[in-house]
Amino acid sequence: MIALTHTRGQTWAVFGLARSGLATARALLAGGAEVRLWDDTEASRAAAAVAGFQPMQLHEGALVGCAGLALAPGVPLTHPAPNQVVANAQRAGVAVVGDIELLLRELKPTVYGVTGTNGKSTTTALLAHVLKAAGRSIAMGGNIGQAVLELPRFENDKAGSYIIEMSSFQIDLTPGWHARIALLLNITPDHLDRHGSMENYAAIKARIFANQAAGDTAVIGVDDEYCRAIYAALIKENTGRGIVPISIREILAQGVSTANGQLYENGKVVFALDFPALPGAHNGQNIAAAFAAARAAGLDVETIRAGIASFPGLKHRLQRVGCIDGIACINDSKATNADSTEKALAAFENVYWIAGGKAKDGGIASLKTLFPRIRRASLIGEAAADFAATLGAVPHALCGTLDKALDDALAAARKDRIKDAVVLLSPACASYDQFKSFEHRGDEFIRLVQERGADEQGAAA
């Protein structure tokens, strides 16, 4: 844990007591601050009480005199309306920030920041793995893994650096953000209920490059219109930072790109993309981004290639969790929207697809060009009926629950006896209708696959 010593003698409020919120409360207390905290969920308040805190309602009067309100990223800050506690803080004149802002104020550390609508977790984990394999001292957290204030304390650059995955919610809560190397992979519609418009969402994502100057590096995908506009703005700013574009659609004369199963640097082939843990064209972008960042960090090509080759893959992202009667079972529970599921469907030919949950805007209409790859869809959750309507003539069944969907998909695959059949959990939905999180959903899928007699486990797809 990183004790927030700069808050000693201050009073801080914390709202939202899940993973990062409770870690923030502990770090504030350890640093010498008085902590007032609350969560609207009884179970979270109970967990805080077990940790030694006394939850209290954060009405406006309770916030008067506080040095700040540390807000969990899942709490609405602006849209569709500020949470009541946020509104209370604003009326009391109290600044609202997140745990990453508090980390930056405490240490002013060397940071690698990664964001994007899709692929940011894989890229973050891959970059951390490559740097660790090269002997660098690295701690990874944020939107992936541990809350940042639970990471080890690095007092200076020589001691170590932080690789932080940043969601748009976390960026919004980090006004003092600065990353020596910052990565923006892509921008597609997501979380518009929390940001109001695509323009707002893109503007927040662009802040991953905030406060960069000479000696810093911006790595940015240029394959969508929003990122291309941000790239053009970075060039125009001319702050002296390095700017490295990445593409999986064209071979860039300057920058990093992937095509024809190869990775290119400044238009020249560097190495083949023959990494079993990173299947599919979409992973070319993750590899290109991690490569560009590692190069900016001073690593040579062979060291980077060796690090990528030893990467085991990311849990819940195209994770091969077992094989039943010759049918591979793939856990892609992290695919919580259609854009992410598109990458998974494109990676396989004969798919027995498990999809559904709490739908995102747009549903699965954007996946229609990939429907020929789907041998059958086994649908779960709130979105099942709407997905069935979109699938039309694609064979499908309304299964309701994950266990029934897995049995339905396996039965269909056994009956068809098609080579290279894959049962793919890639829901294209949030998990909250039936599960606590996408991790909970993925873990349950793994358990069910193992329960049905999988004869191999844990290999990367």
Does residue 227 come out as left (phi exceeding 0), alpha (psi in the -120 to 50 range) or beta? alpha
Q: Which residues lie closer than 8 Å to 43 by C-beta, 6 or more apart? A: none
Whether omega before 80 lies within 30 degrees of 0, making that bond cis, reads yes
Burial 122-153 (b: 16+ CB within 10 A, else e): bbbbbbbbbbebbebebbbbbbbbebbbbbee
Give the E-state strand segments of 168-255 in sequence order: 181-184, 217-221, 242-247
DSSP for 342-369, please give it. HHHHHT-SEEEEEEESEEPTTTTGGGGG
* 8 Å CB contact between 160 and 154: yes
More confident residue, 155 or 248: 248
Report the C-alpha gap between 149 and 137 in whole angstroms: 17
Q: How far apart are the first and last CA of the chain?
A: 34
Query: Reduced to 3 DSSP states, what percent helix, strand and coil does the chain have, rounded to the nearest 5?
Result: 40, 20, 40
Is 248 a residue whose pLDDT tops 80? yes
pLDDT band at residue 238 under the 50/70/90 scheme: confident
How confident is the model over 119-124, as a mean pLDDT? 92
pLDDT band at residue 461 under the 50/70/90 scheme: very low
Q: Looking at residue 235, what is its pLDDT?
A: 97
Q: Looking at residue 456, what is its pLDDT?
A: 58
pLDDT digits (tens, 9 = 90+) for 166-223: 999 999 999 999 999 999 999 987 666 777 789 999 999 999 999 999 999 999 999 9
Angle among Cα 125, 164, 1 to the nearest 5 degrees reads 105
More confident residue, 273 or 277: 273
How confident is the model over 10-22, as a mean pLDDT? 95
Q: Looking at residue 460, what is its pLDDT?
A: 36
Spatial CA neighbour of 74 closest among 432, 444, 440, 443: 432
Backbone angles phi, psi at 252, to 5 degrees: -85, 135
Spatial CA neighbour of 396 closest among 413, 375, 427, 410: 375
Is 355 a residue whose pLDDT tops 80? yes
Angle among Cα 340, 284, 133 to the nearest 5 degrees reads 110
pLDDT band at residue 18 under the 50/70/90 scheme: confident
* 8 Å CB contact between 402 and 441: yes
Report the C-alpha gap between 300 and 286 in whole angstroms: 18
pLDDT digits (tens, 9 = 90+) for 362-386: 899 999 999 999 999 999 999 999 9
Name the one residue in this structure whose structure tokens are 């990494």: 275
